A = this chain, B = another copy of it.
Amino acid sequence: MSEMWHYSRRALMMKSSIIREIIKIAKKPGVISFSGGFPAPELFPKAELAEISQRVLLEQGENALQYSTTEGYPLLREFIAGMLKKQGINISPDEILITGGSQQGLDLCGKVFLDWGDCVVSARPTYLGAIQAFNAYFPKYVTLPSDDDGMTIDGLKEILEMNNPRLIYLVPSFQNPDGRTIPLHRRTRILELAETYGVPVIEDDPYSVLVYEGTVPSPMKAMSPANVVMLGTFSKLLSPGLRIAWLVAPRGVIDKFVRMKQGTDLHTNTLGQYIIYEFAKDGGLYEHIERIKTLYAKRLKILIQAMEHYFPPEVKFSRPNGGLFLWVELPEGVNATELLPKAVEKNVAYIPGSAFYPDGGGHNTMRLNYSKPNEDEIEEGIKKLAEVFQEALSNK
């Protein structure tokens, strides 16, 4: 009987994900949700993708439905290499592995780099999905606090010296959850230290293309190709449901990821790779990115205006110029997790920020997404959220 079965330590240690619990709460009908990281479904190019998928299956079905290589569809990898070149990253398609979402890229980083008790350096807060992926390999986290410019670097040298970390995990541009971007001078210093101490930087980069105003600093992979493993994805740029992302690692390293992926799921779904390549190859993806940037820029603007108008002055928030998320800080002592049921009662939901702290803390913070709720919902949702905050502050 399964009651007698023994499980791995990782299975025993795994808590129910806070996010999954929150999503259950927030599924109440009529709730305006700032909680997910979902692209705006109304912009999915359904008709084009329908035509493409039909054509791919009719004309190339023997290949698109068959087993394919672990590395991924060669033409798609070539396209990605060309896309990265526009960001100053000069790599060969051979240095790219197609993954089942960036979440798989994160799991593979854990598998390739981490043994029990190894040190991982990250910002606090940082991306929850990375914490979940790495936790299966039992790392010890050493985190550095963030300011408006993302991860601070005071003490990083000492951490690298003393903890012999296996990797530095960063979302340098428009980080999930806080929308913050690490400026060029910090990127340079981090890379210098990573090179000196022989520690790979994992640059998780789903958002740098989604810049709405001004510019974004050079990707770290472009600055120091031999010291960075970079993750990118089509999830936010086109469709998350196709589960097509990529991992870039230096020659001599990429093969370790390929072999590890082989044992993990053989290869990423072939049809999705063909569909994305056909959509992207003649400029379709770049046009689509312009469309989503226009919409998200508008929603971000409305969100910030609403927050400025409705939020009590004690409530602080980040002002990113790209990505999908921003960050709200309540006064110390106000607990965003405890506030969530009250918000859901008023039909508005968010993700409490503490979920993004690998080693605890952040109880007065929350993450807001602005790609999924529409303009009216943003205005209405922030108004309601402001009421929840007012109440909490007056009870304090």
Within the complex, the shortest CB–CB distance from A86 to chain B, in Å, comes to 24
- Establish whether residues A107 and B11, one from each chain, have CB atoms under 8 Å apart when the complex forms: no
Residue A184 is within 8 A (CB to CB) of chain B in the complex: no
Known: A2-B227, A7-B112, A11-B111. A266 touches B129 (CB 8 A): yes
The count of chain A contact residues (Cβ–Cβ below 8 Å) is 90
Copies of this chain in the oligomer? 2
Nearest residue, chain B, Cβ from A50: B57
Nearest residue, chain B, Cβ from A58: B50
A130 to B66 CA separation, bound complex (whole angstroms): 20
- Establish whether residues A49 and B41, one from each chain, have CB atoms under 8 Å apart when the complex forms: no
Known: A1-B226, A65-B239. A132 touches B262 (CB 8 A): yes
- Establish whether residues A113 and B58, one from each chain, have CB atoms under 8 Å apart when the complex forms: no
Known: A16-B259, A241-B68, A263-B133. A2 touches B226 (CB 8 A): yes
Within the complex, the shortest CB–CB distance from A381 to chain B, in Å, comes to 20
Known: A136-B263, A198-B1. A269 touches B241 (CB 8 A): yes
Per the 8 Å Cβ criterion, residues 37-56 of A in contact with B are 37-39, 41-42, 44, 46-47, 49-51, 53-55
Residue A137 is within 8 A (CB to CB) of chain B in the complex: yes
A37 to B266 CA separation, bound complex (whole angstroms): 13
**Cβ contacts under 8 Å, A253 to chain B:** 2, 5
Residue A14 is within 8 A (CB to CB) of chain B in the complex: yes
A91 to B136 CA separation, bound complex (whole angstroms): 29
**Cβ contacts under 8 Å, A269 to chain B:** 100, 241-243, 269, 272
Binary interface profile of A, 122-155, with partner B (CB < 8 Å = 1, else 0)? 0000000100110111000000000000000000
Within the complex, the shortest CB–CB distance from A382 to chain B, in Å, comes to 24
Known: A54-B53, A265-B104. A241 touches B113 (CB 8 A): no
